[in-house]
Structure 1
Amino acid sequence: MNQHITHSAIIEEQQAGWRFDQALAELFPDYSRSRLKEWIQAGAVELDGQVVTKPREKVLAGMSVELDVVVEAEERFLAQPIELDIVYEDADILVVNKPAGLVVHPGAGTPDGTVLNALLHHHPEIAQVPRAGIVHRLDKDTTGLMVVAKTLPAQTHLVNALQAREITREYEAIVNGVMTGGGLVDEPIGRHPTKRTSMAVVSSGKPAVTHYRVAERFRLHTRLRLRLESGRTHQIRVHMAHIRHPLIGDTQYGGRPRPPQGAGEELLQGLRIFKRQALHAVKLELDHPVTGERLAWEAAIPDDMVKIAELLRKDAHEMKDDKYL
């Protein structure tokens, strides 16, 4: 189902002399400047009754603007009846608690069976929104909360809020090594120079900041609470590996099992069978893109992370190493 969008406006005094796309971005803030530019170039916007296809065209105060565009529904991807754990939904957004093993967006090697395919089945109208409203992703084996926009205006506002660091995203993780205290990692992240499927701290990368604090110490591991300022691919995994505290189970970034000396068989087995990065998006907080109301959600720690923390806690107690408790 396609979406027909129409808007009218008058160029205001303070916008006189601006570029056409710049003025539109202020007149119609529900849409990104890049999208408005595409609509201008496609001939979907009239200025004083004339189609103008040049985004750089200068405008004058009092000019009338008519936007008339049909947004075609996304038909590249299948709608599939995949169960979603939806923790919140209204007319504009929904919040999903993603399980481990579920890819967010189709890509090479994963043409379907993703969160996007599930969203298209749950709410068919979301096909009118680019990427089915997905504004940020979680790795396949990372669990927890992610917000999805159900409309174009909601998506524009959420993307802008993410870029302005107005959305709070907190994570729980368990890492190798005992950390003495909290801190932050402020290191740029980009594609690994030799491993195409991995990211790394590289000087040519994009800025990335991760805050972390110690939630619990064990004999040779630490449970952390982390908060992202930016949202680079694999950011927490790369930053923790960079400071030599890779996540348990994250073999891609050096998180192979490292049991403490004298660990019992139960803990040894628990570490061996933990086959994903111990990372969970536990809290999400944002201003609603339409009402402006501040909303927050929390998702319980998944059973596999609860279990491994219990085993590490039990090990510390049994070894009577109280300084880690």
Structure 2
Amino acid sequence: MTQSPNTIQLEASTEAAHFGLRLDQVLADLFPEYSRSKLKTWIQDGNVAVNGEVITVPRHKMQMDELVTVQAEMDVQVTSEAQDIALNIVYEDEHILVINKPADLVVHPGAGNPSGTVLNALLNHCPEIDKVPRAGIVHRLDKDTTGLMVVAKTIPAQTHLVDQLQRREMSREYEAVALGTMVAGGIVDAPIGRHATKRTHMAVREMGKPAVTHFRVIEKFRAYTHLRLKLETGRTHQIRVHMAHIKHPLLGDQVYGGRPRLPKGASEEFIAALRGFQRQALHAAQLSLFHPETEEWMTWKAPLPQDMQDLLKAVKKDTADNPQDML
């Protein structure tokens, strides 16, 4: 196939969780940045191969450890409207841009958030990005997670960045405040899948997709720990699910943290600070990747937002006021 600027090439291998699923279901899982209807059309048009053999039947049953490749022409029309929403852009060229996302900003339109998103802002900032799937968004941050995101401005750049994600070449590091005093770092290696009964939640599940999170202690307090975390994989809600799994959910996480727990002897001032922090204490602090055009290894850093800085000040003061509770 003669390549054009709109040609995409994707490649990924199936995992244990894909055994017995239909090809269209597996493609939707492997390449979530593309719509299910588009993926189905590519299958039917002969643009998808499994282990080198073109498969045109969406219901084809898949095995594990199969190589899936896609080569197709992309003709995407983004239906969302451009909106004049400010973006904190930390880097931009003709191929990519990197933004520092604030809290309370949804990345992509969806149920309950049809507009006012990062995608709408991108369409306003760079109108030509409407030719790229999902306006160039290749990975997301939760609404209430702050920090760095990379966006592709062209289809070739997006294909390159998605490939880096799948090959685990892109490096993403976070800072977080977790409940409980942790004395050492470690690794959480536990598969993540959709929660059995709560459709919008994720959970550690035996047949989920592999997920690995590395963490180390920056500073420990009497009831909380300031952490640095690095993603080896990028599953939905991965850090939040993994930290809850090891009994150290993120402070402020109303989905995976359970009922808020106040440390004994907490001052009214500290209780007010905790109750006033209405999101999970999670920030995408560093992003590193190979530039899709130059192949240069690039790194960006984003300082902690003011609300997390204030939270840590309050946590430190609480510890200083209660030194008898430190190990």
Q: Same fold (TM over 0.5)?
A: yes
Change (3 A) 1:227 1:43: closer
Task: Kindly report which structure 2 residues correspond to 1:192-271, keeping only aligned pairs within 5 A, or say none.
Answer: 192-271=195-274
User: SS where residue 117 of structure 1 aligns?
Assistant: helix
What is the CA–CA distance in structure 2 between the aligned matches of 1:93 and 1:257, rounded to whole Å? 40
CA RMSD of aligned residues (A): 2.8
**Quick check: 1:318 aligned with 2:321?**
yes
- How much does 1:32 deviate? 2.9
**Quick check: 1:309 aligned with 2:287?**
no
- The aligned residue for residue 113 of structure 2 is 110
AA aligned opposite 1:282: A
What is the CA–CA distance in structure 2 between the aligned matches of 1:255 and 1:170, rounded to whole Å? 25
Q: C-alpha deviations, 1:205-251, integer Å up to 9, x for none?
A: 11100000011101110010000011111100000001010111101
Contact kept? 2:215, 2:229, Cα under 8 Å: yes
Task: Kindly report which structure 2 residues correspond to 1:6-21, keeping only aligned pairs within 5 A, or say none.
Answer: 7=3
Q: Return the TM-score normalized by structure 2.
A: 0.79
Q: C-alpha deviations, 1:105-147, integer Å up to 9, x for none?
A: 1111111111111111111111111011111000010000000
- The aligned residue for residue 182 of structure 1 is 185
Contact kept? 1:100, 1:142, Cα under 8 Å: yes
Equivalent residue for 2:154, pick from 141, 151, 154: 151
AA aligned opposite 2:10: S
Change (3 A) 1:225 1:171: same
Contact kept? 2:46, 2:54, Cα under 8 Å: no
Deviates more, 1:247-256 or 1:157-166: 247-256
What is the CA–CA distance in structure 1 between the aligned matches of 2:197 and 2:290, rounded to whole Å? 40
Q: Return the TM-score normalized by structure 1.
A: 0.80
- The aligned residue for residue 287 of structure 1 is 290
User: SS where residue 32 of structure 1 aligns?
Assistant: strand
Contact kept? 2:188, 2:213, Cα under 8 Å: yes
User: SS where residue 165 of structure 1 aligns?
Assistant: coil
What is the CA–CA distance in structure 2 between the aligned matches of 1:106 and 1:294, rounded to whole Å? 31
List alignment gaps of at least 5 residues for structure 1. Answer: 9-27, 45-53, 58-66
Q: Which has the larger radius of gyration?
A: 1
What is the CA–CA distance in structure 1 between the aligned matches of 2:55 and 2:180, rounded to whole Å? 55
- The aligned residue for residue 128 of structure 1 is 131
Contact kept? 1:187, 1:209, Cα under 8 Å: yes
Q: C-alpha deviations, 1:4-33, integer Å up to 9, x for none?
A: x9748xxxxxxxxxxxxxxxxxxx996336
What is the CA–CA distance in structure 2 between the aligned matches of 1:43 and 1:196, rounded to whole Å? 33
User: SS where residue 213 of structure 1 aligns?
Assistant: strand
What is the CA–CA distance in structure 2 between the aligned matches of 1:142 and 1:294, rounded to whole Å? 25
Contact kept? 1:30, 1:157, Cα under 8 Å: no
Contact kept? 1:41, 1:55, Cα under 8 Å: no
What is the CA–CA distance in structure 1 between the aligned matches of 2:252 and 2:130, rounded to whole Å? 35
List alignment gaps of at least 5 residues for structure 2. Answer: 12-26, 28-37, 48-52, 57-70
- How much does 1:256 deviate? 3.8
| Percent identity over paired residues | 61
Q: C-alpha deviations, 1:55-74, integer Å up to 9, x for none?
A: 579xxxxxxxxx996x5342
**Quick check: 1:273 aligned with 2:273?**
no
Contact kept? 1:30, 1:154, Cα under 8 Å: no
What is the CA–CA distance in structure 1 between the aligned matches of 2:294 and 2:214, rounded to whole Å? 29
- The aligned residue for residue 61 of structure 1 is none
Contact kept? 1:249, 1:255, Cα under 8 Å: no
AA aligned opposite 1:101: D
Contact kept? 1:215, 1:224, Cα under 8 Å: yes
User: SS where residue 323 of structure 2 aligns?
Assistant: coil
User: SS where residue 295 of structure 1 aligns?
Assistant: strand
- The aligned residue for residue 90 of structure 1 is 93
User: SS where residue 251 of structure 1 aligns?
Assistant: coil
- The aligned residue for residue 160 of structure 1 is 163
Change (3 A) 1:310 1:40: closer
Contact kept? 1:165, 1:230, Cα under 8 Å: yes
Contact kept? 1:208, 1:229, Cα under 8 Å: yes
Equivalent residue for 2:9, pick from 25, 31, 55: 31
